[in-house]
Chain A
Amino acid sequence: MNSPSTPYITSRNMEIYDTSRNIGIYEPMHQMSMWADIKSNGFLNTPTSMLVEVDTKLDNQSEDTSHETLGHSNKYDQETNKPVDKVLRRLAQNREAARKSRLRKKAYVQQLESSRSKLLQLEQELERTRQQGALIGVGLDAIPPGFSGPINSGICAFDLAYGSWVEEQDRLVDNLKTAIYTYTDEELCILVDVVMNHYSDLFRMKATSAKADVFYLMSGMWKTSAERLFLWIGGFRPSELLKVLLPHLDLLEQEHAEVCNLKQSCQQTEDALSQGMDKLQQTLSDALAAGQLGEGSYFPQISNAMERLDALVSFVNQQADHIRQVTLQQMARILDTRQTAQGLLVLGEYCQRLRALSLLWETRPREPT
């Protein structure tokens, strides 16, 4: 882009200026010679003086034009008795036209300048956002429109940690793939423990992050887009995951029955918690809507609502994560080592497929708007 002191002299600017409305009076070639004059006169470093110089030039040009017109009119108006009047009128008209042209030009240039600085700002913001997106491995589409302003440092820390967690998870799942066939039971047991602890790490991370911003966790924005489709109180529904798992496990009848019972208990606790969430929404809504809506002052309602919000949403989120973690532990209890390894592998790859789907979706070719 041009440096601020020379906004006027690129041919591109001249082209833009040519196509702007109502310029009309001066032909492109006329303008180019005008600019060339300015350039050779060395008025580059002082835009205001250049403007003055140009103004003078415009004035001169208009007077030149009027002279030409005068010449013509002399030919046709020989009968009129007031050629001086005509001259004066033409002069005034030209002066007026030139003045208006100057004002339009000024306005247009101001508009260009502000658009330019806005563009620079947007470019900077985009670069910042891209960098953050690259860090956390989330597509740009995952950042909602209008998401701006200082980002909570707690959220940033969580996003970074979660990004690392997913990378490590992928490594562990790859390990499981080969370990199922090559490891002894003892070795597999150790690997299973590592994977289970890794899940515990995630729950710990979420618990810490919930203190910083529970709504961020609840929003699921830290997950990929397809995963968000299945969002239930800040994560997966454990009963859904059990449904995914069941067909892929090689189970005895007794074990199968236990897993089915676990699935049913899961569903019941999920339902209870979901209804608790509904109740939370209702009490919050009631608190906010108390008194007269539209009367203007509503501080008591807000502070009352705050009291309800405080800790309640955290608790519901904690309870949901608690259910997830206990379900995982129960599965490990019901199944033997090899079955647990198989289960963790299936679970791991299912999540990988969801993340791959998200990526594919975000990078799909789209119609230009």
Chain B
Amino acid sequence: MEKISRLVSENGVVIFSKSTCCLCYAVNILFQELTVRPVVYAIDKDPEGREMEKALFRLGCSAPAVPAVFIGGKLVGSTNEVMSLHLSGSLVTLIKPYQGLLSN
């Protein structure tokens, strides 16, 4: 989907979320602890929200679609994947280019 592709290519770390989703909030907090400022896009606030959700499913996200985390334009996954990566020490490697930066 055009909107998603544009967002993930223009920004290092993107989290697609819903405003009421607490796990999206948790994932955002984790990135901030790692001095990363992700772009958080609330799809429930977007008129094309349903379309975006379907697109996320098509890209490989399983229900629930959010949080959907993209790093460097690539889909990393949801909360599970992000936390597994961090505990294995791999997450810091992925976000290194984007640490200590303001969201772009």
**Interface residues of A, Cβ cutoff 8 Å to B:** 258, 261-262, 265-266, 268-269, 271-273, 275-277, 279-280, 283, 308, 311-312, 315-316, 319, 322-323, 326-327, 330
- A277 proximity list for chain B (CB < 8 A): 22
Asked if A265 contacts B25 (CB within 8 A), the reply is no
**Given A272-B26, A276-B29; A261-B89 close (CB under 8 Å):** yes
Interface of B is mostly: helix
Find the residue from B20, B30, B79, B83 having the highest chain A CB count within 10 A: B83
- B25 proximity list for chain A (CB < 8 A): 275-276, 279
Asked if B87 contacts A262 (CB within 8 A), the reply is yes
- B33 proximity list for chain A (CB < 8 A): 268, 271-272
Chain B residue at smallest Cβ distance from A238: B87
15 extra interface residue pairs, beta carbon distance < 8 Å, beyond A262-B87, A275-B29, A276-B23: A258-B89, A265-B86, A269-B83, A272-B33, A276-B22, A279-B22, A280-B22, A283-B22, A311-B64, A315-B23, A315-B79, A319-B23, A319-B80, A319-B83, A323-B87
Interface of A is mostly: helix
- A315 proximity list for chain B (CB < 8 A): 23, 79
- A266 proximity list for chain B (CB < 8 A): 87
- How many angstroms between the C-alpha atoms of A311 and B21 in the bound complex? 11
- B71 proximity list for chain A (CB < 8 A): none
Chain B interface size range: 10 to 19
Chain B residue at smallest Cβ distance from A313: B22
Chain A residue at smallest Cβ distance from B31: A272
3 tightest CB-CB pairs across the interface, nearest first? Answer: A276-B26, A272-B30, A280-B22
**Given A271-B29, A272-B30, A276-B29; A312-B87 close (CB under 8 Å):** no
**6 CB-based A-B contacts, threshold 8 Å:** A269-B30, A272-B29, A279-B22, A279-B25, A279-B26, A322-B84
